[in-house]
Structure 1
Amino acid sequence: VRALRRRLEPHGPDHAQPTRCFALSLIDGLANAEETVVSAIAWALEGIPLVGGSAGDDLTFRDAVLLHGGAIHRNAAVLLLVESDFPVQIFKSDNFEPTDVKFVVTASDGESRTVYELNAEPAAREYAMAVGLDPERLTPMSFAAYPLAVKVGGEYFCRSIRRLNADGSLSFFCAIDEGVVLTLAEPRDIVASTRAELARLDRALGGVDLIIGFECVLRRLDAESRQVRQGIADLYRRYDMVGFETYGEQYRAMHLNQTLTGIAIGKRPADERLASEGPAEATPAPPALP
């Protein structure tokens, strides 16, 4: 990261302005290393905003790969640092609301991201009972419809379930430690929430030219189950969004789930816009997750 920053900042560290520079991370989504990698990268970036996503394999959970330098890489991460003549702004958008249903993680393996017990009961059974489903018939569609979230600094961040295991445990897309309190969440209108966030970016930048987005695969499944996938696709075309479906999303120093993160690039050169309108709207940094 320091070597990349030296190439990006030929005139010193103050040259890399957060309103014109950003970093993109692409990480193997099956290596279970996002929290460590993203935390280290964000620390070394020293204020350059970071977004990205975890590479997946269409929910088979066998082999996620990255491409770099014309070669295939596994258990790897790729980092890109970008400087633009146009204003940029990173963002995140989700579509869930917390409920009053709580789960305490009472047995887990943080390294494998596996939760064995919730509220001192078998994890899958306790979760299924809370949402009114058969514990033996839990699927990715179930997890997309009934997400779990953790509260940090007064804000909720999604912690999505990856799969049901044969022993009744649940594997997650994020690290889950014993003692963590998980809150059952319910989805909001995904089209309305996404539309509002993209419209905000459009106003903040004085017009959006391009958005590079990283969307959790569970958002797609949820949109398909509610038959609103076409509405989401129409929004992405309207705002010229390109990107990836992911097994997890990165935003600053955090690894998230069931979220849309990305970088929006404005239409007008930054110097021209700043001269006529002042700086782009700033987004406060969220609290770091454990």
Structure 2
Amino acid sequence: MSLDAPPAQGTRWFGTGHSTLTDPAAAGTQAAEAAIAGRTPSVVFVFCSVGYQSAELFGGIRERVGPETVIVGCTTSGQIASGEESRDGVAVTAWGGPGLEVRTHVSRDVTADLRGAGAAAAAGLGTLSSRHRALLLLCDGLTGTQHEIVRGAYSVAGAAVPLVGGCAGDHLTYVRTYQFHGNRDGVEILSDAVVGVALGSDAPLGVGIAHGWRKQGEAMIVTSSSEGRVYELDGRPAMDVFLERLGIDESVTLDEEAFRQAAFLHPLGLSRRSGEDIRVIHGADRTDRSLICLADVPQGALAWLMESDQDSLVDGAGEACAQALDALGGEPALGVLVFDCAARRITLGEDGVDRENVAIGKALGGVPFGGFYTNGEVARVRGALGMHHFTMVTLAIA
């Protein structure tokens, strides 16, 4: 299914809204009123916690958009809207005005062919006429080998078009996530889907990516792995190496939450030309002594355990925003979309999350921003890679 929104007329704008009302219909209406403010958007992004994904959520939103407005979004592990954040709630971000093009395409039942789904999701790029283009992907957060979606999208987008986006969440329960796609006439609530949003603009679009992590200890070689499962590090069972390096008893693996809390503080960093690409360790398998990640950890890769602190993670958020603004080439930003890893949110804690939002606002100089906490982040400015974890990704619109 594809939807097109032609270039809008009037004054160009970017708005955000947020609600923590428990009733989905009331929450959607409140957030949409703040974001849209009586204007006609080209695109509306709806990010909500699991439990809000109902037809009622979209009723008040659909009443406030135009006949050509595209509505997209997904469930989250938390919402972000210009300094406000919530674990449970709804965030709405809307754009409109002249010089904006939006083309969307949904890939369904993607697990059977992730790379093909990513390629199909990029189909809208070919119909854009704007000078500046980007492909935004909203993916199911539980597909496993998420990098295959990005590789498929890259096969269509090529090196000249940046990729950006995030994977839907469910508060890290890993049960089910949802993706949204529709318009004023109705919105589909999907799972196992990829929503591709091809963006065109007559003004620059800027992507930023940063994480705030640093290497801990000596490098390791990934001597055995398959997709997101790491079997061996330096020729030994990966779980054993991980526990030994951290000085943690194996009993921690008997408590899934306790293990995750420890693992989130020490993700894997994979050596890349531009720095380390982060992989969150989500679990351990006592049967084969492997570590489980949600994205690829290539066999033969050079890897480190990583460490950070609240100050560095907060600084990373500011850096991601600064990069996106710098990519606008001096043009003022209208607003910024933010895709922040849910594991970062847990690691920061409530105080750190507040500090991070302040840092984002400071880095953006009052420019509105909205987004969500993800199960994986998409960002590719150069090269074919683009799937990340424990990272903040930003998209600035001039």
Size of the alignment, in residue pairs?
255
Residue in structure 2 matching 1:150, options 267, 270, 275: 270
Residue in structure 2 matching 1:171, options 288, 292, 300: 292
Q: TM-score, normalised by structure 1?
A: 0.78
Runs (4+) of structure 1 exceeding 6 A deviation are none
Amino acid at match of 2:317: T
Matched, 1:247 2:375: yes
* Match in the other structure for 2:180: 67
Is 63-72 or 195-204 further displaced after alignment?
195-204
Pairwise mapping of residues 1-290 of structure 1 onto structure 2 (< 5 A)? 3-9=123-129, 16-17=130-131, 20-46=132-158, 47-69=160-182, 70-110=187-227, 113-137=228-252, 138-153=258-273, 155-167=275-287, 168-187=289-308, 189-199=312-322, 201-202=324-325, 204-224=329-349, 227-237=351-361, 238-252=366-380, 253=384, 254-266=386-398
Query: Alignment partner of 1:61: what SS?
Result: coil
Percent identity over the alignment is 24
* Match in the other structure for 1:281: none
Unaligned 5+ segments in structure 1 are: 10-15, 267-290
> Over aligned residue pairs, what C-alpha RMSD do you find?
2.4
* Structure possessing the higher relative contact order (Cα contacts under 8 Å, 6 or more residues apart): 1
1:151-181 deviations in whole A, cap 9, x for unaligned?
1236221122122335343210211243333
Unaligned 5+ segments in structure 2 are: 1-119, 253-257
Q: Verify the 8 A CA contact 1:205 1:265 in the aligned structure 2.
A: no
Query: Alignment partner of 1:219: what SS?
Result: helix
Q: Verify the 8 A CA contact 2:233 2:241 in the aligned structure 1.
A: yes
Distance 1:241 1:140 in 2: 30
Distance 1:134 1:36 in 2: 35
Q: Verify the 8 A CA contact 2:317 2:360 in the aligned structure 1.
A: no
Amino acid at match of 2:344: R
Distance 2:300 2:322 in 1: 39
Structure 1 residue 49, shift from structure 2 partner:
1.3
Is 121-130 or 232-241 further displaced after alignment?
232-241
Structure 1 residue 147, shift from structure 2 partner:
1.8
Distance 1:85 1:177 in 2: 39
Q: TM-score, normalised by structure 2?
A: 0.58
